[in-house]
Amino acid sequence: MRKLRASIIKEIQLILQDRVGLLLMYLMPILLVFIITIVQDSAFKLVKDNQLDLLVVNKDKGELGEKFTAILEKTGNFNLEKDPKADLKSIKGLTIEKQKLISIYIPENFSQNMSGNAQHLTKIMLTEFGMIDENSPSSESVKNEIQLFYDPVLQENFRFTLVNNLQTVLNSMENAQMVEQIFKEMGYDEIPEKIKKQLSQKQTEIKITSASNSLGGSIPNSTQHNVPAWSIFAMFFMVISLGGNLVKERLSGSFIRLQTIPSAFILTIWSKMVVYLFVALSQLAILFSIGVYLFPYLSLPQLAIPASILQLFVVSFLSAMAAISYSILVGTYAKTQEQANGFGSISIIMFAAIGGIWVPLFVMPDYLQTIAKLSPLHWCMEGFYTIFLKNGEWNQLTGPIIYLLLFTFACQFLTFIKLRIQNYI
């Protein structure tokens, strides 16, 4: 025990001397979690809370173009600027010049076409019901369109969401036109007030609920996703410090001396595991504390700590052991420090990419989703998501626990084989 304590003290002394390693292990994850959470939260707010800069060029001679513009303004989603003098030729240039993310061009016959189409559809319906004569005069259906121009920096998913929203507004206007037309055909001057009021109300609400056991009714947010995910990524990045440190020690000659001291070598490996286990768990503790205590002051959603602290500890411990064992494996097989750093960091980036840290797994093709199961980061994330997002039961953690245990044992076994071949143990 005294020997192990001596090895642990030596490891702590070495780690305290490695300023770059400490920065990589503690500062980098904090920055990563901050940046990614802020970026994702802003992107979410861009759609949900923030106002998109919108230029409207309304050339409509009727009143529906103005009504459409008013509805968009009323949604509060747009910082709307009208430019009646602009035309179809200048709108592209104006979009960029005025730094608008999108511009909408409403043509001069927009109202006429929308009313005409509503009238046409109404006539078909009433004829079908036998309420009017099919030979009575009516306008034909015509193609009605508005044009949308966007800044190329606007990503496809935002564009897609925006177009859907605009289409919803247009559909509701078309429906309103059709109902109004029906009432006109029935001899009313306008739609009765109580029906108008009823129509303006949403008939069906969408209630959003997370499919987790219980998170106090809160909906998972960018913090709940990002803090665990990027903490795992940062934890595995200890490969640069631990893996590199192992190669450096091996090449420096100290390992040769350790081989001449009974059981010193295996104690060195164990002490590294103990010290880096503390590093990994302290990384998580710091990052989770930042999520809980600091994020609310930065207008970011607060991290909700799972109800079961035991589950949190088990998943954290197993993830840390997987990261440590992988780092030691890389450090054992690498011939130079450059090799350990290069291979270690690239492999972690690849594990993170296929493991779903950067992009959700469900958007990946099937074969990548299968490959993802080989990534230890995927299983760490599965474990953390089960407790952070789903507030899951122990049986839901079986997969991550078994995989992480197997991964840890496999790494340690391969390390043992290599060290045995090299006569270190």
Residue whose CB is less far from other proteins, 6 or 350: 6
- Of 212, 200, 211, the closest CA to residue 392 belongs to 212
DSSP 255: H
Q: Are 157 and 98 in contact (CB under 8 A)?
A: no
Say which amino acid occupies 269. Answer: I
Which whole-number Å values give the CA distances from 288 to 294, 317, 380, in the listed order?
Answer: 10, 15, 15
CB nearer to other proteins: pick between 6 and 124: 6
Using CB under 8 A as the binding criterion, the count of chain residues that bind other proteins stands at 25
Region binding other proteins by CB under 8 A among candidate stretches 3-11, 131-139, 189-197, 209-217: 3-11
Query: Measured from the CB atom, is 34 or 276 closer to other proteins?
Result: 276
Q: Which helix (H) or strand (E) holds 377?
A: helix 376-388
Quick one: which of 171, 252, 336, 370 contacts other proteins (CB under 8 A)?
252
Judged by CB under 8 A, the chain residues 259 through 278 that form the site for other proteins are 259-262, 264, 267
Among residues 254, 308, 347, 369, the one that binds other proteins under rule CB under 8 A: 254
**With binding defined as CB under 8 A, does residue 423 bind other proteins?**
yes
**CB of 258 vs other proteins, minimal distance in Å:** 8
Closest by Cα among 355, 357, 315 to 32: 357
Does residue 257 belong to the site contacting other proteins (CB under 8 A)?
yes
Report, in Å, the least distance between residue 14 CB and other proteins. 6
Shortest Å, Cβ 275 to other proteins? 14
The region of 57-65, 103-111, 234-242, 247-255 touching other proteins under the rule CB under 8 A is 247-255
State which of positions 177-206 bind other proteins (CB under 8 A): none
Dihedral pair phi/psi, residue 129, rounded to 5°: -75, -5
Query: Per-residue x/- mask for other proteins, residues 6 to 45, rule CB under 8 A?
Result: xx-xx--xx--xx---------------------------
Which is nearer to other proteins, 106 or 267 (by Cβ)? 267
CB 102 within 8 A of CB 154: yes
Least distance in angstroms from the C-beta of 225 to other proteins: 39
Residues 6+ apart with CB under 8 A from 118: 174, 177, 178, 180, 181
Least CB distance to other proteins at residue 37 (A): 35
Sequence-separated (6 or more) residues with CB below 8 Å from residue 68:
106, 110, 146, 169, 170, 173
Residue range at the interface with other proteins (CB under 8 A); choices 44-52, 155-163, 255-263, 318-326: 255-263
Stretch that binds other proteins, among 153-161, 246-254, 287-295, 310-318 (CB under 8 A): 246-254
Q: What secondary structure letter does DSSP report for 27?
A: I
Task: Name residue, tokens 């030691």.
Answer: 328
User: Mutual orientation of helices 110-128 and 156-185 as an angle, nearest 10°?
Assistant: 60
In 262-358, which ranges are continuous DSSP H helix? Answer: 264-289, 309-333, 337-355
Of 218 and 422, CB closest to other proteins: 422
In sequence order, what are the residues at sequence separation of 6 or more whose Cβ sits closer than 8 angstroms to the Cβ of residue 200?
Answer: none
- Please identify, using beta-carbon distances, which residue of 17 and 395 lies nearer to other proteins: 17
Contacts with other proteins, residue ranges (CB under 8 A)? 2-3, 5-7, 9-10, 13-14, 17-18, 249, 252-254, 256-262, 264, 267, 423
